[in-house]
Amino acid sequence: MVRTTLSDMAREAFSDGRRLVAPLMGFPGLNITNVSIKLAQQNYDIHYKVIKSLVERFQPDVMFPLMDLAVEANALGRFTLFPKDDSATVVRDHFDIAELTRWNDINIAHDSRVLCSTETQRLMSIGLPKNVTRGAYVAGPYSLAGLIMGADSAAMATILEPAMLHELCQFATERIQQYARLLISAGAQIICVLEPSAVMLGPDQFEEFSAAYIRHIGASCTYNGVNIVYHTCGNTMHLIDQMVGANVHGISLDSHEAGVDLPAVAARVPETVAVIGNINPTAAILKGSPEQVRSEVDDLMTRMDSFPNFILSTGCDLPQETPLKNIEAFMRAGREHRIGREV
């Protein structure tokens, strides 16, 4: 059982008249440390130094490593590109469901990239201040299935080959759980499941091919005393009930510009589930001035004043080129806002 849930943490801050501030950031730390994405994602000491530089500069309440959707697929031998200045990318390749028989013999715990992520997490657990909650990312089961067989093929399979897709999603879930257990053993306190591909599904399909499997991952996390967060990009307004119904401790949602009305979401969500978001990572914080960032954050926080389970964050991971002064403005606005009044 999780002793302190994200909603507990959010409500405790709320009772003090403040908010938890936890932007999804990782890539801007590359500019502080002057290293490439490729190097950071393949060298756990450097990856940790990137994360540590961000914590030292901005002091967030929660810190995640660099967002990386390719870890599990790469560990299964899928063709993956590693550009110098961009995230690892899984290239669409031939897939046959019969391959799962051979893949069952692959122990992803011995994969170099899995080990790199796990060791990064271990260094975060040892080296970051204890008041910073350590998060980790895993791919969602439907998104991992989409990386393995192609996103378009996965979408078609929900209608034409649902039994085959279920077999693949079940296999993906087992590997994700294995990876999550490794991250938890290394000190992760939050497992954030990244399920971007599932936003294209309708509510029934989302429930069948994503939420149903995430319940299993969530049960494993909860058993180990770790929070689980469901993150889906894009307009998820039609999927909120299914996300919450997956028995997660928090839902992390995209921006207003993507179609997400965060106050409307919070009004539908039990206070036992944290609502996390949802400043646009590619709008003012990327292209605007610190004053524009502060105004956007103040507006969101004022509209969320009545919801004790709210955690201020970004709608997705911040791009590498995000100006550091704008992240500072984001953090300052979040820290200085007091419930019930505008700053």
C-alpha angle 48-52-54 in degrees, rounded to nearest 5: 125
Contacts of residue 59, defined as CB under 8 A and 6 or more positions apart, other chains included, come to: 132, 331
Calculated CA dihedral for residues 116, 121, 127, 129, nearest 10 degrees: 150
Rounded to whole angstroms, the Cα distance separating 326 from 287 reads 9
Average pLDDT over residues 3-11: 94
User: Can you tell me which residue has the tokens 């899984």?
Assistant: 90
Which DSSP string do the residues of 236-281 spell out, in sequence order?
-TTTHHHHHTT--SEEEE--GGGT--HHHHHHHS-TTSEEEEEE-T
Task: Kindly report, residue by residue over 67-97, the tens digit of the pLDDT.
Answer: 999 999 999 999 999 998 899 999 999 999 9
DSSP summary character for residue 225: T
CATH number of 33-248: 3.20.20.210
CB 191 within 8 A of CB 221: yes
| pLDDT more than 70, % of the chain | 99
31 upstream amide cis, omega within 30 of 0: no
pLDDT value for 343: 41
pTM score, two decimals?
0.96
Tokens matching residue 208: 């069948």
Asked if residue 341 has pLDDT above 80, the reply is no
Rounded to whole angstroms, the Cα distance separating 216 from 230 reads 13
Task: Kindly report, residue by residue over 110-140, the tens digit of the pLDDT.
Answer: 999 999 999 999 999 999 999 999 999 999 9
pLDDT value for 2: 78
pLDDT value for 1: 73
pLDDT value for 342: 45
Task: Kindly report, residue by residue over 60-73, the tens digit of the pLDDT.
Answer: 999 999 999 999 99
CB 68 within 8 A of CB 146: no
CB 100 within 8 A of CB 60: no
Domain ranges of the chain: 1-24+265-343, 33-248
pLDDT averaged over every residue in the chain: 96
pLDDT value for 174: 97
Task: Kindly report, residue by residue over 252-299, the tens digit of the pLDDT.
Answer: 999 999 999 999 999 999 999 999 999 999 999 999 999 999 999 999
Task: Kindly report, residue by residue over 172-204, the tens digit of the pLDDT.
Answer: 999 999 999 999 999 999 999 999 999 999 999
Report the SS3 class of residue 96. coil
Tokens matching residue 51: 């994360």
Helices (H), the chain: 6-15, 29-33, 37-42, 44-58, 71-75, 99-103, 112-127, 141-149, 151-160, 162-185, 203-206, 212-223, 240-244, 262-268, 284-287, 290-303, 324-336
CB 285 within 8 A of CB 21: no
pLDDT value for 340: 62
